Chains A and B, each alone.
Chain A
Amino acid sequence: MSEQERELGVVRIWQEDAVHLGVVWTDGKQSSFDTRLLRQLCPCAVCEADRQAGRFVVGDDVVPLRVQSVGNYAMKIVFSDGHDTGIFEYAWLHERG
């Protein structure tokens, strides 16, 4: 039986304070994300298009409402401005965390 490569995953995830999201990754790294920044960096197609068109405007008081895993590779954050199409991939987050 061949060894499966170990995929990046989340060991622990929690709300640290009003705005920070804490994550412990399977490689032992610990990250703390400012969720306001995550909203600003939202990688979804709508936000990308808005950014390209120079009309990306998001208030800095936007906070998460809900944080959910997506399959084995990402998390989805539902934000208080109603935006919920951003899928934040673990690899992307891990690189920035």
Chain B
Amino acid sequence: MAADRRQKAEAEVLEALSVVVDPDLHQDIVSLGFVQNLAIEGDQVAFDLQLTTPACPVRDHLREQCEQAVLSLDWAHGVKVTLTSQVRGGRGGGTDALSQVAHLVAVASAKGGVGKSTTTVQLAYALAATGAKVGILDADIQGPSVHHMTSAEGPVPSGEGMMDPAEHHGVKIVSMGFFVPALRPALLRGPRLTAIIQQFLTEFRWGELDYLLVDFPPGTGDIQMALAQMTSLTGAVLVTTPQEVALLDVRRAVSMFKMLKVPVLGVVENMSGFVCPDCGSQHALFGEGGGAALAEAAGVPLLGSVPIDPTVRQAMDEGQPLLLGPHRDSPMAQAYGAAAAALASAISVQQANQGPALKSFDFTWKEMGA
């Protein structure tokens, strides 16, 4: 009898919660499997709400909706919602160094000088600030800069082949900049470059990561194509700045990733405006809404527009993750934080759409009777 009553109460709670819809996935949280560990004691209801990313921008909103839904039941007088997250993806099986990395995301641009590495670093720390496990692979072998921007200490060779990435404020980092500057990476070419990136991917203990951001070398040539084929990318973020040719550049990058079947998750527009150091107000440099128009013209979502603030920029160039330092409330830091949240949502949507596809496979053929 008591078990019957509990079952009935659980069913009522789930039915009440099924009106709560995840705005990104367009599906209710019950059928998405987000409601877990439901426990009912008398008139008290408790459960975990397991989101697809700790960076979920609407998590507080979802929690409130859940509380209201449960309290709408006439017998329920208390509710406790615990927010948890499980970044879905997982490269499954495999024993390779990336087997526990849920999502590899390319951060790319058609050309240099648009703040691609800066964007990679700030997105990474913004994602990490939400509780996600994050890594950065600086694949810009010829012009590595991530090591400067994070003031991380280089990784220490562990002797037996596999190495540990550097770690800085909880973010794992591998960059050519850590290794032998005497190698003059600018002089390396083609196959040698891809071989080094391959090593970065396979010979480091990346461990369990929700997001591994790959800072692509600028451009849309052979190296970028080779890199995109080396591993299975969840998607790509394109970085641009407001310029006459930006749309052309973004289109070029979009078509490269399209050809390689790598979904473009969105565009981050840097230097979208200028934060006046005197009055703190923002001035658009190239007209309002340029980033949104550009993203729409290129047929990809706009993840964020980041203004430029000379003082903050300097701190960033000196290796400060903005969200962890004194500039955490600056418009720049806030813009990168919002872009990171939008990126996390785009990845969750991508994951839901991708369905059960294998991320990678590799097997040997066996002799068998025909």
- B-contacting residues of A (Cβ < 8 Å)? 1-13, 15, 17-19, 26, 35, 63-75, 90
- The winner among B301, B353, B358 for most chain A CB atoms within 10 A is B358
A-contacting 9-mer, from B42-50, B128-136, B173-181, B360-368: B360-368
Which of B265, B357, B362 lies in contact with A26, CB distance below 8 A? B357
Specify the main secondary structure of chain B where it touches its partner: loop
Determine if B233 and A72 form an interchain contact, defined as CB atoms under 8 angstroms apart. Answer: yes
Known: A15-B368, A71-B233. A4 touches B349 (CB 8 A): yes
Please, how many angstroms separate the alpha-carbon atoms of A73 and B263 in the complex? 11
Residues of A within 8 A of B369 (CB): 17-18
In the bound complex, what is the Cα–Cα distance between A3 and B300 (angstroms)? 10
The chain A residue sitting closest to B365, CB to CB, is: A64
Residue of B nearest to A91 (CB): B261
The closest CB in chain B to the CB of A19 belongs to B370
| Complex: A72 Cα to B357 Cα, angstroms | 10
**A1's contact among B24, B354, B358, B363, by CB below 8 Å, is which?**
B24
The 3 closest A-B pairs by CB, nearest first: A9-B357, A73-B261, A71-B229
Q: Which residues of A contact B345 (CB under 8 A)?
A: 1
Chain B positions 56 through 100: 1 when the CB is less than 8 Å from some CB of chain A, otherwise 0: 000000000000000000000000000000000000000000000
Which of B231, B345, B349, B363 has the most A CB atoms < 10 Å from its CB? Answer: B363
Alpha-carbon gap, A70 to B231, bound state (A): 7
With A13-B358, A63-B365, A72-B260 already in contact, 5 other A-B pairs whose C-beta atoms are closer than 8 Å: A4-B346, A11-B358, A15-B368, A70-B229, A71-B233
Decide: B368 and A18 in contact? CB cutoff 8 A: yes
Select which of A1, A5, A19, A72 is within 8 A of B346 by beta carbon: A1
Q: How far is the CA of A75 from the CA of B367 in the complex (A)?
A: 20
Q: A70 — nearest CB in chain B belongs to which residue?
A: B229
Q: Are A69 and B358 also in contact (CB < 8 A) when A1-B342, A3-B353, A18-B367 are?
A: yes
Measured CB to CB, the closest approach of chain A to B265, in angstroms, equals 8
Rounded to whole angstroms, the CA-CA distance of A75 and B300 in the bound complex is 27
Q: Is A4 touching B263 in the complex (CB atoms < 8 A)?
A: yes
Contact check, A66 vs B365: say whether CB atoms are below 8 A apart: yes
Residue of B nearest to A87 (CB): B229
Asked if B159 CB lies within 8 Å of chain A CBs, one says no
Q: Let me know if B362 and A11 touch, CB within 8 A.
A: no
CB distance A1 to B301 under 8 Å?
yes
Asked whether A18 lies within 8 Å of B356 as measured between CB atoms, the reply is no
Residues of B contacting A6 in the complex (Cβ-Cβ under 8 angstroms):
353-355
Interface centre among B260, B262, B345, B357 (most CB of A within 10 A): B357
* B142 sits at the interface (CB 8 A): no
Least Cβ–Cβ distance between B280 and chain A, in angstroms: 31
- B227 — nearest CB in chain A belongs to which residue? A71
| Residues of chain A contacted by B346 (CB below 8 angstroms) | 1, 4
Q: Complex Cα distance A64/B345, Å? A: 40
Find A12's partner among B300, B358, B362 (CB 8 Å cutoff).
B358
Does B232 reach chain A (CB closer than 8 Å)? yes
| Contact (A68, B356) CB under 8 Å given A4-B349, A18-B368 | no
Cross-chain contact of B363 among A5, A15, A19, A73 (Cβ < 8 A): A15
